[in-house]
């Protein structure tokens, strides 16, 4: 009983910021700037959501979706051959540890340190202020992470399966299509979800490399709601809730799919 109560309390505390954000998105300005603390809105309103709809929020949502899908597609297309080669080919031992170290170095490096060379690169190829440019620069973080994550999944594919297919005359492409890819599908889905979340939440590159408001992603648009005159807390809460829903939905769907695949494999 005590454990159940403690678990409930921890879950409630963890969900409190989300509950507060949802409640704030329905509060009129006089309520969320009031000195009195009230979780539930006294006079619920949809004004913040209407303001976001009138501002054309769907465009920024579409931009974020395009960038996330493009980042995932490019990362997986390049990370899968790299991870497969590191595991299957006769390369120096423990080379995967170098990738782990590379991922950690990239994650620890301040993004602003990469901003100037990336800006010069995008300007040289004419992709400044474009979604394609964001997809390319997102690979700085997405690609090393995807390679490192796929290494473990590729190792779990038994070499004996491929050797048996080779004895039956199956070529490389057929082995990849009929054996490797079906076994790697849960890993590809999991990697794709993590990369998509990273891209969906990326802010600094979107802020630095995109100047046209119609090309803003959701994080870059959120920054426009905070200025020197005021902070639009109601709209911030509303857009925060709307931006979280696709991530929560995709994680839930992928979780069900992964559990189903694992159960199928065990049988």
CATH 1.10.3720.10 at 45-266, yes or no: yes
Give pLDDT tens digits for 117-160. 899 999 999 999 999 999 999 998 898 889 888 888 888 888 88
pLDDT class of 258 with cuts at 50, 70, 90:
low
Give pLDDT tens digits for 29-61. 888 777 677 778 888 889 999 999 998 899 999
- How many angstroms separate the CA atoms of 59 and 63, rounded? 6
pLDDT class of 107 with cuts at 50, 70, 90:
confident
Contact 131, 112 (CB under 8 A): no
Give pLDDT tens digits for 210-238. 989 889 999 999 988 888 778 888 899 99
* 121 φ/ψ sector (left φ>0, alpha ψ -120 to 50, else beta): alpha
- How many angstroms separate the CA atoms of 156 and 153, rounded? 5
Query: In DSSP terms, which residues pair with 231 in a beta bridge?
Result: 226
3-state secondary structure of 37: coil
**What Å distances lie between residue 12 and 6, 15, 32, 61, 204, CA to CA?**
10, 5, 21, 29, 32
**What Å distances lie between residue 241 and 26, 27, 61, 67, 221, CA to CA?**
11, 14, 13, 20, 14
List of residues 6+ apart from 142 with CB closer than 8 A: 71, 72, 74, 75, 195, 198, 199
Give pLDDT tens digits for 166-210. 887 777 788 888 888 888 888 898 899 889 999 999 998 999 999
Residue 85 has pLDDT above 90, yes or no: no
- How many angstroms separate the CA atoms of 207 and 162, rounded? 46
* pLDDT for res 183: 87
pTM: 0.85
Contact 220, 207 (CB under 8 A): yes
Give pLDDT tens digits for 14-29. 888 888 888 888 988 8
* pLDDT for res 259: 55
CA contacts within 13 A on the Cβ side of 83: 28
* pLDDT for res 220: 92
pLDDT class of 266 with cuts at 50, 70, 90:
very low
- Higher per-residue pLDDT: 107 or 16: 16
- Higher per-residue pLDDT: 11 or 140: 140
What is the C-alpha end-to-end distance of the chain, expressed in Å? 35
pLDDT class of 255 with cuts at 50, 70, 90:
low
């Amino acid at each position: 009983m005590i454990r159940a109560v403690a678990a409930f309390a921890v879950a409630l505390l963890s969900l409190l910021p989300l509950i507060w954000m949802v409640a704030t998105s329905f509060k009129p300005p006089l309520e969320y700037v009031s000195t009195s603390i009230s979780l539930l809105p006294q006079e619920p309103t949809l004004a913040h959501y209407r303001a976001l709809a009138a501002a054309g929020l769907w465009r920024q949502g579409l931009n974020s979706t395009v960038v996330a899908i493009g980042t995932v597609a490019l990362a997986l297309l390049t990370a899968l051959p790299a991870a497969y080669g590191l595991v299957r080919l006769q390369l120096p031992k423990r080379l995967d540890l170098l990738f782990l170290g590379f991922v950690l170095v990239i994650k620890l490096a301040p993004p602003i340190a990469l901003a100037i060379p990336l800006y010069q690169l995008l300007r040289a190829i004419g992709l400044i202020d474009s979604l394609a440019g964001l997809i390319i620069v997102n690979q700085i973080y997405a690609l090393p992470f995807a390679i490192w994550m796929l290494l473990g999944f590729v190792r779990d594919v038994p070499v004996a399966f491929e050797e048996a297919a080779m004895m039956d005359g199956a070529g490389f492409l057929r082995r990849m299509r009929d054996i490797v890819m079906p076994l790697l599908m849960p890993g590809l889905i999991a990697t794709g979800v993590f990369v998509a979340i990273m891209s969906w939440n990326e802010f600094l590159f979107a802020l630095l490399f995109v100047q046209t408001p119609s090309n803003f992603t959701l994080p870059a648009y959120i920054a426009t709601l905070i200025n020197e005159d005021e902070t639009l807390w109601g709209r911030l809460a509303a857009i925060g809730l709307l931006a979280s829903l696709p991530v929560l939905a995709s994680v839930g769907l992928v979780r069900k799919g992964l559990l189903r695949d694992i159960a199928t494999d065990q049988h």
